[in-house]
Amino acid sequence: MSGRTPSRRTSSQRTSSQRTSSQRTSSQWEEITAANPAHSTWYVERFRAMAAAGQDVVGEARLVDSMLGRGGRVLDAGCGPGRLGGYLHDAGHVVVGVDVDPVLIAAAEEDHPGPTWLVGDLAELDLPARGVAADFDVIVCAGNVMTFLAPSTRESVLSGFTRHLAPTGRVVVGFGADRGYEFPQFLADATANGLSVDLMLSTWDLHPFTNDSDFLVAVFSLEGPSDDSSTNLAR
Ligand SMILES: C[S@@+](CC[C@H](N)C(=O)[O-])C[C@H]1O[C@@H](n2cnc3c(N)ncnc32)[C@H](O)[C@@H]1O
C-alpha cells in the first residue's frame, strides 16, 4: 500500500536498473493522469453531473447489497470518487474504499462521508497494516478497474483480494471486453490466486454471460475443499 505521490515518469519509461524492489509499478490509470492531470477532476465531475441529472449510477452497488446480510463488511477496490461505497454505506454496510488516485479519494470524502476512504495501491494491499481487518464479506471491483491496473500487477491484486476476504466472503469483479485483459486470462489468473468462480454474468442486473458477451461480471469465493452438498442432495 502506498499514499506516495505517483512518479511522473511512466513505468514503460523506467529501465529495469532504475526499478528497485521498493519501487511500485504505476497503474495505467496513473499513467493517464500523469499525462493529463485534469483527467481525475473530469472523472469526478462526470459522475457528479450524472447523479445530479438523476441517472442511475449505483446499479453495481444494488447487486452487491443483495449479496450481503445487513451490516456487511465491504471493500470497494478501486473505489474512485465513491459512488458505490457511498450507496453501500447508506444501506448500512461497513465500507472501506481504496484507490490509488488521491484526487478521487478527496472527492469520495467530500461527496460520501462515512466510509473509510484510503489512498492506496491494490497491488500492495495490506489493510491490517493500516488498522483495518482483512475479513470482508464482499470485495467489489467495478468500473473497469482491472483494466486500469499495470498488467504486471494483476495477479498481485487478485491475491490481495484473496487475502482480505472473510472465509465465506465473495469477490465480484466487472469489466468490459476489448480493454486489454482477455476474460479467459482473467479467470485463469483469479483461479491461480485462490479464487473459485461461482457465477458469470454479462451485466450487473443479472443477464447471463455467453460467449458473445462484451462485459463480464464474475462472482468468486475462496477456493476450498470441494463442497459435496449437491452430492448429498442427490443421494
Ligand atoms: C474507471 S475508474 C472506476 C472507479 C470506480 N470503481 C467506479 O466505478 O466509479 C478506475 C479506477 O481504478 C483505480 N485504480 C487503477 N489502478 C489502481 C491500483 N493499482 N490501485 C488502486 N486503484 C487503482 C483508478 O484510480 C480509478 O479510480
CATH code (residue 176): 3.40.50.150
Instruction: Evaluate: CB of 65 within 6 angstroms of ligand 1.
Output: no
Count of structural domains within the chain: 1
Closest atom, ligand 1, to C-alpha of 33: 25
Distance 53 CA to ligand 1 centre (A): 23
Of the CA atoms within 13 Å of residue 18, those in its CB half-sphere come to 9
**DSSP per residue over 158-217, as a string?**
HHHHHHTEEEEEEEEEEEESSSS--HHHHHHHHHHTTEEEEEEESSTT-PBP-TT-SEEE
Instruction: Evaluate: CB of 72 within 6 angstroms of ligand 1.
Output: no
Q: Is residue 13 part of a domain?
A: no
Q: Is residue 213 part of a domain?
A: yes
Distance 99 CA to ligand 1 centre (A): 6
Domain that includes residue 187, residue range: 28-234
Residue 122 DSSP code: G
**C-alpha cell, 37:** 492531470
Task: Report which protein residue has its CA nearest ligand 1's atom 14.
Answer: 78
Q: Digits of tens for pLDDT over the chain (235 positions)? A: 333 333 333 333 333 333 344 689 999 999 999 999 999 999 999 999 999 999 999 999 999 999 999 999 999 999 999 999 999 999 999 999 999 999 999 999 999 999 999 999 999 999 999 999 999 999 999 999 999 999 999 999 999 999 999 999 999 999 999 999 999 999 999 999 999 999 999 999 999 999 999 999 999 999 876 554 433 333 3
pTM: 0.89
Closest atom, ligand 1, to C-alpha of 123: 19
